[in-house]
Amino acid sequence: MKTSAMSNPLCARFAIGALALLAIASPAFPGDWTTFGHDPQRTGWAADEPGLNPKTVGSLHLQWVSPVKNQSVSLSALTAPVGITGVRTPEGERSIVFVAGVNGNVVGLDARTGEEVWSRQLRTVITPRKGGLQGTFVCPGGITATPVIDKRAGILYVIAASGELYGLDVASGQVRYGPVQFVAPFAKSWSLNLVDGKVYTTVSLGCGNGRSGIYEIDVSDKHRPSVRQVLLSNGFAAGIWGRGGAVIGEDGRIYGGTADGDTNPDGGDYSSTIVAVSQQDLSIADYFLPPNWTYLKRKDLDVGSTSPVWFRWNKRNLLAHGSKEGVIYLMDADHLGGADHQTPLLTSVRLGNDGETCCEGAGIWGSLAMRRDGEGQIWVYVPMGGPPAAQGAKFPISNGANSHGSIMAFKVVDGQATGHPILDPAWISGDFNLPDPPVIANGVLFALSNGENPNQRGEEFRRFQNTRPAVLKALDANTGKELYNSGGAIASWAHFSALAIVDGRVFAVDHASNVYCFGTGTMTTRNSPELRQAASIVPTVNTSDAVSQSWIGMVDRQDEIYKSWVKRTAFGVGLALLAALVGISSGMKNRLT
């Protein structure tokens, strides 16, 4: 009788090991997008992308759409995509794009066809408590951090809902690392980063009682994992919640902007602050506290809404960061706020959010981006929600009305009067409703008009009303002129997402858990009418735990909120029991009479 290889445990282990060896590809090369924003500095710039350029992007079109098995939780659905080329599989060499669903399903898709290469469900044996913010858009209790790829090792790292770090084989989905406890179960973690054999994330919002801070795990030896963290407050405040998570410069420092809360750096509270942390020992190396931080706290216009971008200019290390206030800070990365920690190189005028609103999508959200053009000129790109400020920057090139949002482009130039670099306005795009973080390849800027309803006032279910399908746009990175518009190709809206450029194609996701591939080649069978119809079906959202007010100011009161929920529940149960007893008593009385 013949025995299959998989029925023999020794053979099975050998087969899995062989797949692992097959998946160990060469170092990253053009066509890879291994992490959120392309690189550890979160530039969003695919500097070596060989295919997409201003001449070819006009023929861009939807090549395929693949629905992913996933149940959204409130606003969360799929992570932003990442992907690599040259993955060696038993079926041959492939380019594979990866996404993770909030409910724990991690999927690898063939970048050229949309075919599912593998999927793995990351299950947890624990369940979150009910009430408070758990189960809401603030704390969805699932996978929220965009994975990161170690191409040399052939491993995709992802944090499960349990807070455990998994390392999955890029070719097969087999577990090759962990699971190892990395962050608190059901914590709200943000995009993973990978530098020098260590994986980084940030935690915010107090979900799962996870403390706000920067978290690091050494994955160089799977049998000796080492976890470290630096906490940024004495409670649950000061979380880094920009979509890029930990931004890591080439200077050995980790950067991020923090949310509202108590601010007392001497006492360990770094709310409303842009911090720099040493990679060597995870100590606070430097920080910048905006001079108007009390105003920012009062109006909830914190700097945590955005991830900064790190880059070099004229032999200087610079950091650009935005905020919900609609202001950009340009900082010397080696001395963020100068001697007093409150003096950056440049604080821009208000560029947007004239209404000074915290929670309606106005201001700068997501992540900044940068690129160096063929002449060595550095550009910085800013996603601005809402109309530009009436007294803001004067752009020499305007590309039409932009009442809902825009991409703003600046050149980093020498400020002759100050001796410091300044941001010179270059162009402003037409309308984005609303703009997600831009990415750039060969002089083309891509950004998603995400179509979400950002208004956090009122009950949570209102966020699912008045949404619009997302639209992918390609702009000339030098002028802002629109070169491509995806029209109605995307079925649903997107929330807190981002794009990826892999193997000459642009990848996006939507809230209906679809992955979209836009390219210049021929369409595939994965773009069939049947699949397009399946993609257009938006899943029903459970809003039973809807938040009755904005989450702003609630993070530091997690325990208070939970106790209040317990009291309300107990009171309701008590009333129900009392009503039942009254009913029983009344029934017995009727029988007796």
Give pLDDT tens digits for 16-73: 444 444 443 334 568 999 999 999 999 999 999 888 999 999 999 999 999 999 999 9
Task: Provide the pLDDT confidence category of residue 558 given band limits of 50, 70 and 90.
Answer: very low
- Cα–Cα distances (Å) from 379 to 14, 172, 289, 327, in that order, read 50, 39, 25, 17
- Rg (C-alpha) for the chain, rounded Å, is 24
Residue type, 349: V
Q: Residue 268 pLDDT more than 60?
A: yes
Domain assignment present for residue 509? The answer is: yes
> What's the structural domain count of the chain?
1
Cβ contact 407:480 at 8 Å: yes
| Domain CATH for 564 | 2.130.10.10
Q: Residue 218 pLDDT more than 90?
A: yes
Q: Which of 309-323, 330-344, 519-533 has the lowest mean pLDDT?
A: 519-533
Domain assignment present for residue 242? The answer is: yes
For residue 125, what pLDDT is reported? 85
Q: Residue 579 pLDDT more than 80?
A: no
- Cα–Cα distances (Å) from 120 to 106, 149, 185, in that order, read 5, 16, 19
Q: Which of 102-106, 285-289, 505-509, 567-571 has the lowest mean pLDDT?
A: 567-571
For residue 449, what pLDDT is reported? 98
Mean predicted confidence (pLDDT) in 466-475: 97
Give CA–CA dist 324/308, Å, rounded. Answer: 13
Q: Which of 67, 66, 104, 100 is nearest to 83 (CA)?
A: 100
Task: Provide the pLDDT confidence category of residue 572 given band limits of 50, 70 and 90.
Answer: low
Q: Which of 28-42, 394-408, 536-550 has the lowest mean pLDDT?
A: 536-550
Give pLDDT tens digits for 195-207: 999 999 999 999 9
Mean pLDDT for the chain overall: 88
Mean predicted confidence (pLDDT) in 219-241: 96
Q: Which of 433, 448, 446 is nearest to 505 (CA)?
A: 446
Mean predicted confidence (pLDDT) in 501-518: 97
Domain assignment present for residue 539? The answer is: yes
Q: Which of 278, 252, 256 is nearest to 196 (CA)?
A: 252
Domain assignment present for residue 591? The answer is: no
Q: Residue 11 pLDDT more than 60?
A: no
Q: Residue 547 pLDDT more than 70?
A: no
> In what helix (H) or strand (E) does residue 407 lie, and over which residues does it extend?
strand 405-414
pTM for the full predicted model? 0.87
E strands, 234-315, are: 247-248, 253-257, 263-264, 269-270, 274-278, 284-288, 306-307, 309-313
Q: How many CB atoms lie within 10 A of CB 266?
A: 5
Give CA–CA dist 332/329, Å, rounded. Answer: 10
Domain assignment present for residue 401? The answer is: yes
Segments forming the whole domain that contains residue 159: 5-353+363-580
Contacts of 1 (CB under 8 A, 6+ apart): none
Q: Which of 288, 296, 294 is nearest to 341 (CA)?
A: 288
Mapping DSSP to helix (H, G, I), strand (E, B) and coil, where does residue 336 land? coil
Domain assignment present for residue 415? The answer is: yes
Q: Which of 182, 291, 292 is nearest to 246 (CA)?
A: 182
For residue 17, what pLDDT is reported? 43
For residue 559, what pLDDT is reported? 44
Domain assignment present for residue 206? The answer is: yes
Q: Which of 315-319, 535-539, 555-559 has the lowest mean pLDDT?
A: 555-559
DSSP 134: B
